C-alpha cells in the first residue's frame, strides 16, 4: 500500500497546499480519498493518470473536498480517445451523492461505456479485495472518517473532524493516521483538531505514523505544529506536504 498526499490544504487558496485529496495505491487499484479543487492537476504532478482511478471516497460535502469530482467525471466522459470500460465507484455521504447526480444531469453527459456506482458509506464495505470502514465524525451533519485496510497495511483518514473517543476506537492500531490538523493549539476551532488533539488521538489509538494534514495557512511554521503534537505523541509524526508519499 502507498498513500500519496495530493492536497494537504483546505478551502483557502494556497500555492503551498492544494485542497484535500489523497491517492491510495494497493495492488492493481487506485483510489482517491476526497477530491478537492486541483486534484486532477496534482495527480498529473504525482505522475499518475486520472483514467486509472477505480474509486473515490468522499468524506463530506464541503466544497474543498468534492470540487474536482465533476472535472474527473467530465474528463473520463469527454477526453478524446478515452474509452473507459471499468466502473467508477463513488462512496460518499448522501448530500455529496445528490450534488454529483444533479451536476451529472445538468452539466455533463451521462457516461457511455462505463458505469458510475454510487454508495452511501456504511460501517463496512468490501472494495475489491480491501475493506473500507466508516464512522460519523464531529464536523458537519454528514461528515465521515474512512479506514482502509488492505493486505499490505491500513490507513485512517479523519476527513474534517473534531476529537472524539469514537475516533480513537476507529483508529485503533492503524499503520497510518491522516488527521485534520486545521489550526495550532492556540487557535482551536470547533469541528477540527489541533496538533495536541491529533497527538492525543494517535497516542490513545496506538497508531504507528501520524500525519498532520488539512493545514490552514495561518502563518504558523511546521516546527511549531510538530512541537505541539510531539508534546503528547511520541511516535512518528509527519507534517503533510503535497506529493508526499507514505507507506506503512
Contact residues for Zn ion (CB under 5 A)? 62, 64, 160
Which residue's CB is nearer to Zn ion, number 52 or number 141? 141
Q: What is the DSSP letter of 25?
A: E
Which residue's CB is nearer to Zn ion, number 149 or number 160? 160
Angle between helices 69-78 and 94-107 (to 10 degrees): 40
Nearest C-alpha neighbor of 200 from the set 224, 231, 170, 176: 231
CB of 182 to Zn ion, least distance (A): 8
Tally Cβ neighbours within 10 Å of residue 186.
9
CA 160 to chain CA centroid, Å, is: 9
CB of 61 to Zn ion, least distance (A): 9
CB of 16 to Zn ion, least distance (A): 16
Which residue's CB is nearer to Zn ion, number 29 or number 62? 62
Query: 8: phi > 0 → left, psi -120 to 50 → alpha, else beta; which?
Result: alpha
Angle between helices 222-230 and 195-205 (to 10 degrees): 40
Which residue's CB is nearer to Zn ion, number 26 or number 137? 137
What are the residue ranges of helices labelled H in the chain? 39-45, 63-66, 69-78, 94-107, 165-170, 195-205, 222-230
Rg (CA), the chain: 17
Which residue's CB is nearer to Zn ion, number 29 or number 60? 60
**N residues, the chain:** 248
CB of 47 to Zn ion, least distance (A): 25
CB of 191 to Zn ion, least distance (A): 7
CB of 32 to Zn ion, least distance (A): 15
Which residue's CB is nearer to Zn ion, number 25 or number 64? 64
Amino acid at each position: 500500500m502507498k498513500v500519496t498526499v495530493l492536497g494537504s490544504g483546505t478551502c483557502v487558496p494556497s500555492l503551498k497546499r492544494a485542497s484535500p485529496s489523497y491517492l491510495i495505491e494497493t495492488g492493481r487499484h487506485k483510489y482517491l480519498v476526497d477530491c478537492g479543487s486541483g486534484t486532477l492537476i496534482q495527480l498529473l504532478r504525482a505522475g499518475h493518470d486520472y483514467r486509472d482511478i477505480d474509486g473515490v471516497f468522499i468524506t463530506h460535502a464541503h466544497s474543498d473536498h468534492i470540487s474536482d469530482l465533476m472535472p474527473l467525471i467530465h474528463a473520463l466522459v469527454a477526453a478524446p480517445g478515452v474509452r473507459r470500460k471499468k466502473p467508477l465507484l463513488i462512496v460518499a455521504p448522501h448530500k455529496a451523492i445528490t450534488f454529483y447526480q444533479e451536476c451529472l444531469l445538468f452539466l455533463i453527459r451521462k457516461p457511455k461505456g462505463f458505469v458510475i456506482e454510487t454508495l452511501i458509506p456504511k460501517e463496512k464495505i468490501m472494495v475489491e479485495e480491501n475493506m473500507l470502514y466508516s464512522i460519523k465524525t464531529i464536523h458537519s451533519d454528514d461528515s465521515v472518517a474512512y479506514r482502509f485496510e488492505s493486505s499490505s497495511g491500513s490507513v485512517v483518514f479523519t476527513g474534517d473532524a473534531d476529537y472524539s473517543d469514537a475516533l480513537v476506537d476507529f483508529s485503533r492500531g492503524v499503520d497510518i493516521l491522516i488527521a485534520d490538523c486545521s489550526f495550532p493549539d492556540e487557535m482551536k476551532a470547533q469541528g477540527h483538531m489541533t496538533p495536541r488533539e491529533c497527538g492525543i488521538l494517535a497516542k490513545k489509538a496506538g497508531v504507528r505514523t501520524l500525519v498532520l494534514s488539512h493545514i490552514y495557512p495561518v502563518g504558523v511554521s511546521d516546527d511549531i505544529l510538530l512541537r505541539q503534537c510531539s508534546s503528547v505523541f511520541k511516535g512518528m509524526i509527519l507534517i503533510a506536504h503535497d506529493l508526499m508519499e507514505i507507506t506503512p
